[in-house]
Structure 1
Amino acid sequence: MSKLKCHISISLDGYVAGPNQSVQNPLGEGGESLHDWVVPLATWRESHGKEGGEENESARVVEEVRENIGAAVMGRGMFGPIGGGDWNDAEEWKGWWGDDPPYHYPVFVVTHHPRESVEMAGGTTYHFVTDGIESALDQAKKAAGGKDVMLWGGGNVVQQYLAAGLLDELELHVVPLLLGGGSRIFGESGAANVRLEQVRAVEAPGVTHLKYRVVK
């Protein structure tokens, strides 16, 4: 049966993006450092059209995370641009990832503002869902054709899926970094009532990978 999975980098003080996010600094102050562990990996570089890279424990985790994914969901905050709002002010916006995004499957963006689907190179198509997180997940599962659905973030939409009991698997990539503020996935919107069962812990350079099953 298709699962909804989320894997996300998080600071030791619980933030998935730093404070003062902007178009120039979409992950906020210090937020880029949350991903220092993944950018050098060969598997990450390959998915972004680059050659070379490192192989370590993190590479195996990332490869596993990406297996059997047929579609994805993300929030408007992750798709951008920062500040949201009506698409009339951002009708040319097609995400942060250029003409060939690294997804290569349908991506359903949760938003309050309707927009026609945007087809990109490499098999990525963005669909914009205005009738809630449940509808976005239903559409993604249908598009995935029996494969799993990845919840890519950002923090607010992960909170919503956790609080609604719709997330099946959560993998936190814990980075030894203190951001002091920014976007969180725990502590609000009812997520405090979520029960997690640890599946594994993997130590790797610059990060610890903690995988959980959501108990329902």
Structure 2
Amino acid sequence: MGKVIAEISMSADGIVAGPGTSTEHRLGRGGDLLHEWLFEGTDADSEIAAKLFDGTGAFVVGRTMFDVGVDPWGEDGTFKKPVFVVTNRPHEPVVKGPTTFTFVTDGPESALRQAKAAAGQDNVVLMGGGTTLRQYLLAGLVDELRLHVVPLLFGAGVRLFDAEAGEHVKLERTAVVETPNATHLTFRVPR
């Protein structure tokens, strides 16, 4: 059985989307800066980016991420694997080339069960947004957390770690790769 991996880019002050997320500013105002390492990075950044798809059999995203990302992802849907969208708004599946987006309205755990079934022995990657990843982390459903910390302070926006007071998630760091564009941290999430 594969792992459940939460993967997200964030600023040094914990912002995963800039303020004012909309279809015009899909990652919030200035939010594209969080992902420059993916497109303008070093060879080491490219190797880290490739790991997103290596060994991955399915993805889980939140509805907001789907809504703002589906057009930029293009006709093939980018993922080329099944994607399960956590939402409370029903929607028929959306097929873009080899990518099928299935809308799951009965909770994050159900979306994860469906993604695991689709992935078989491969990994399930939780892509975000921040609210979706936070739900899975706090529920104890994540095996590995991959944070790509960009040397940038936003000051405002969507924070990954806004959680109820007293909620803690222990992490064990297993890898660090530093580039001028990001510090790539990998953590095991002990249960």
| TM-score of the pair, normalised by structure 2 | 0.94
- Separation in structure 2 between the aligned mates of residue 104 and residue 73 of structure 1, nearest angstrom: 13
Question: Matched residue of 1:61: which SS?
Answer: helix
The percentage of counterpart residues that share the same residue type is 48
Larger Rg: 1
Contact 1:7–1:170, Cα closer than 8 Å, also in 2: yes
Residues 8 and 81 of structure 1, relative CA distance in 2, 3 Å threshold = closer
Question: Matched residue of 2:155: which SS?
Answer: coil
Match of 1:103 among 79, 82, 85: 79
Contact 1:6–1:170, Cα closer than 8 Å, also in 2: yes
Q: How does 1:181-196 map to 2 (within 5 A)?
A: 181-189=156-164, 192-196=167-171
- Separation in structure 2 between the aligned mates of residue 191 and residue 25 of structure 1, nearest angstrom: 33
Question: How far is 1:189 from its partner?
Answer: 4.5
Residues 90-122 of structure 1 show CA distances to partners (whole Å, capped at 9, x for unaligned) of xxxx5541211210010000010111111111x
Mind listing any 5+ residue stretches in structure 1 that lack a counterpart? 42-54, 83-93
Aligned AA (1:26): R
Match of 1:61 among 35, 48, 56: 48
Mind listing any 5+ residue stretches in structure 2 that lack a counterpart? none
1:4 aligns with 2:4: yes
For this pair of structures, how many residues does the alignment match? Answer: 191
Question: How far is 1:192 from its partner?
Answer: 3.7
1:120 aligns with 2:107: no
Residues 43-77 of structure 1 show CA distances to partners (whole Å, capped at 9, x for unaligned) of xxxxxxxxxxxx52112222233211000100001
| Matched residue, 2:64 | 77
1:179 aligns with 2:166: no
- Separation in structure 2 between the aligned mates of residue 97 and residue 35 of structure 1, nearest angstrom: 14
- Separation in structure 2 between the aligned mates of residue 210 and residue 155 of structure 1, nearest angstrom: 17
